[in-house]
Amino acid sequence: MKNYILLLALITINVSIAQTSQDSIYNNPQLTQNSAQRILSNSLGKKVTLGGYAELTYNQPESANGELDVQRMVILVGYNFNDDVQFVTEIEFEHVSDVFVEQAFINYSIGDNVSLRGGLMLIPMGILNEYHEPTTFNGVERPAVDNVIVPTTWRELGVGVIGRFPDASLGYQVYVFNGFKSTESDGNGGLNGFLKGSNGLRSGRQKGIQSTVSSPTLSAKVDYYGIPGLRLGLSGYFGKTQAEDDIEELEGANIGIAMVGADARYSYRRFTARGQFVYASLSDTESYNMATGRDLGSALLGYYIEGAYNVLPLKMKQKLYAFTRFERYDTHAETAGSLARNGSYNRQDITTGLSYHIAPGVVVKGDYQFRGNADDSYNVDDRLNFGIGVWF
């Protein structure tokens, strides 16, 4: 532990003395853009627009070997067919060996404040699922709420409309997507299940890979930005999971999902804060668990609150944020039937550290995580993390 604290102190001393130019992100959350928004806004007058982001991480649990990882390298490409029709795609290399298409959609502007979209897109739930570029959030690792409850990066195939009402300071998104895949045939007349208690819905993401569609799902979000420095979001996702034709009528093949989320981001001078709350009610989980032998909960719950302060003077072009984030997340917030709640799924993390923005689009991060759960017999290691992130 003393070595961890010494390393973090050395990082603090070393990173607090340099000076360069303005960072790539706005302090004001009303002006922050994600990768797709930047590609679209920078594409005027150009046929092709390129961008990318990357994260390199080091994780050191207290009682195990550390891990170094090129966690992700992402290539962003936009193409302008004309002033109204654009294509955006995001190709991601994870852990050097895995390749995914994270986004691939057509954007058709049908008016000054409204566009139609179709393709592989991000579900608008919470903050990080849409704004997950490494310079836009504190901490080496993304919040656990945005990994276990909102299965970031959560994307599916669909169509929808996105726009805003400027006079009311409101933005909106409404989509119809395909949903999570819950089960597959085990080859013997039974079911294998993808969804489970430890990580909820995460393993059911289809990611646009030969996706099964049996019923559409509805996803929507409204953002309010009428108060200086403040952005508020309200999200919803409703529908059923998907299953193949040969099993979709079997009892327990599908479950229903009703997920709601609320988020807030605020900035004033050198202070920033954000918070998020997500709750998902899952129906028919008792039948699903009986058919698959899984332990999926009937409700998922997660929230966090974070505060950060730039310790460098405002006149400096660099930023050094000291931050602390508290989060709780429970994938067994409720269970159905005879399934008992698992205390190890009721988790709590406290993350504190530094985010040093040394140049436009470059951040160096260091933090320490105090991790625990409600089951005293199940130990979770605290963890020291360091990382480098770029976005351009």
> What is the full per-residue pLDDT of the chain (392 aa) written as tens digits?
444 443 443 333 333 322 223 343 456 787 788 999 999 988 677 899 999 999 999 999 998 999 999 999 999 999 999 999 999 999 999 999 999 999 999 999 999 999 999 999 999 999 999 999 999 999 999 999 999 999 999 999 999 999 999 999 999 999 999 999 999 999 998 999 999 999 999 999 999 999 999 999 999 999 999 999 999 999 999 999 999 999 999 999 999 999 999 999 999 999 999 999 999 999 999 999 999 999 999 999 999 999 999 999 999 989 999 999 999 999 999 999 999 999 999 999 999 999 999 998 999 999 999 999 999 889 999 999 999 999 99
Beta strands in the chain (DSSP E): 48-61, 67-80, 85-94, 98-111, 114-122, 155-165, 170-177, 183-185, 191-193, 217-224, 230-240, 256-268, 271-283, 299-310, 319-334, 346-359, 362-373, 383-391
**Structure letter (DSSP) for residue 39:** H
Question: Going by C-beta distance under 8 Å and a sequence separation of 6 or more, which residues neighbour residue 29?
Answer: 229, 230, 231, 265, 266, 267, 272, 274
CA separation for the pair 288, 241 (Å, rounded): 11
Domain limits, the chain? 2-391
CA separation for the pair 76, 178 (Å, rounded): 24
Beta strands in 66-169 (DSSP E): 67-80, 85-94, 98-111, 114-122, 155-165
Instruction: Retrieve residue 165's tokens.
Output: 């009402």
Question: Going by C-beta distance under 8 Å and a sequence separation of 6 or more, which residues neighbour residue 68?
Answer: 56, 57, 58
* Predicted pLDDT of residue 124: 98
Task: Tell me which architecture the domain covering 2-391 has in CATH.
Answer: Beta Barrel (2.40)
Instruction: Retrieve residue 152's tokens.
Output: 């970031």
19 CB neighbour count, 10 Å cutoff = 9
* Predicted pLDDT of residue 41: 87
CA separation for the pair 277, 262 (Å, rounded): 5
Amino acid present at 222: V
CA dihedral 288, 291, 295, 296 (to 10 degrees): -20
Closest CA to 129 of 205, 65, 51, 197: 205
CA separation for the pair 176, 158 (Å, rounded): 5
CA separation for the pair 307, 350 (Å, rounded): 12
| Cα end-to-end distance, the chain, whole Å | 36
Residue 371 exposed, middle or buried by CB count within 10 Å (0-12, 13-18, 19+): middle
Contact 153, 102 (CB under 8 A): yes
Q: In a 3-state reduction of DSSP, which class is residue 370?
A: strand
For the chain, the maximum distance between any two Cα atoms, rounded to a whole number of angstroms, is: 68
Alpha carbon distances (Å) from 367 to 2, 7, 56, 207, 351? 14, 10, 14, 30, 7
* Predicted pLDDT of residue 27: 63
Instruction: Retrieve residue 28's tokens.
Output: 């004001």
Rounded to 5°, angle at Cα 9 from 29 and 267? 15
